[in-house]
Amino acid sequence: MSKTNLIGGHDSRVVLLKCNTYTDVYPALEEGVHLLGGLHQIVQPGERILLKPNLLLGDNPERGSTTHPLFFEAVVKLFQKFGAQLFYGDSPGFGTPQSAVRNSGLASVADSFGVELANFVDSVEISNPEGILLKQFLLAKGVLAVDGLVNLPKFKTHALMRLTGAVKNCFGCLPGVQKAAFHARLEDEFRFAEMLVDLVDLIAPRLHIMDGIIGMEGNGPRNGEKRNVGVILISTNPYALDHCVARIMNLDPRLVPTLQVAQKHGRYDPEKIQFLGEPIQNSILEDFEVNRSNASTTGTQGFYMSLFKQWVTPRPFIQQLRCTQCGRCVQVCPASPNALSFENGRNQPPVYDYQACIRCYCCQEMCPEEAIAIRTPLLGRILNEINL
């Protein structure tokens, strides 16, 4: 895979387009790449290009948690028209890539256009000498078998990173159980963010095209509420794009860990972002439901947070009437020892050990029944109010 972005990794132009229906995506994409200078600056005819959607668990597209099939189809048409040889894939948080692409509706689109599913099961160790935190990664073979990657993230909230965007979507390029291992190893949200920045810099996607037509607010990235956002965002710079996502969410970008890390290490400068297309002020959703607290999401930043973590830090909790005791939360918990267990047998919901809980929120993300939400304990809410 070539790491050379033909436009330049530090280009801070972001195209913002209004698009309220999935039937209008293709002409919007044509306009967007034209504003960036044309697709010839992104890809050359005959190049092998990997499309990386957000598949999460391969949900039904109407749930709003995955890149929509019609959005995916429009991107396929755009790049095939230019002569690119396309592949696609993702490593879901649970289950196989094959089941994820089938259940999400992407497989039928890909099959009809002759787009091959890439290998997101096997991995290859790749050196990352310029990494902030990590000097090597195990990347999916499918990522390394192409000339370039085009990232197709979804506009959503996220309990750990506050938002799912261009940077977080690249986490799916790590196949298998290693994603859970990173959560266990990097408990602090800023160390986790450093890993994500290292990863996206190593992969160096050619382009990021965000499906923001239907977004998700609240208990994202899977169990929140759908929200008509009505935008498409396009950029060669994932940090500039995510900065714009935060602004549309009416979220201070300085609260997003990946953006803090990226700015600190010179990956982007908020003052240099140039908006093309629609003025961003027209798209800001003042009442968008997202975590705007100044407090750490993991409880490992600062003295009082580490000392009183279990009483002040946001934590997952099970809504018992929704829980079906399927046990997936227990299966995916990366903490050691496990923070979840069936103390009273499978006839009752699992029970949390919050002292063991690392606040990765994998249980909340992977729950198939929308039974797990995030709640800040009373002391934490009081401290947030007085800005301690």
Strand ranges, E, within the chain: 13-18, 48-53, 85-88, 116-117, 123-127, 136-140, 148-152, 154-158, 162-164, 207-217, 225-235, 274-277, 315-318, 340-341, 351-352, 372-375
pLDDT of residue 282: 95
DSSP single-letter state for residue 61: G
pTM for this model (two decimals):
0.92
pLDDT of residue 362: 94
Does pLDDT of 189 surpass 90? yes
- Give me the chain's average pLDDT, please: 92
Q: pLDDT tens digits for 33-74?
A: 999 999 999 999 999 999 999 999 899 999 999 999 999 999
**What integer is the mean pLDDT of 202-230?**
97
pLDDT of residue 384: 62
**What integer is the mean pLDDT of 112-129?**
97
226, 216 in Cβ contact below 8 A?
Answer: yes
**What integer is the mean pLDDT of 251-258?**
98
Task: Label residue 252 by pLDDT band (50, 70, 90).
Answer: very high
Does pLDDT of 356 surpass 50? yes
Query: Which of 97-111, 128-142, 366-380 comes out lowest in average pLDDT?
Result: 366-380
**What integer is the mean pLDDT of 189-196?**
97
Q: Is pLDDT larger for residue 378 or for residue 35? A: 35
pLDDT of residue 387: 56
Domains of the chain: 13-282 (3.40.50.11440), 303-385 (3.30.70.20)
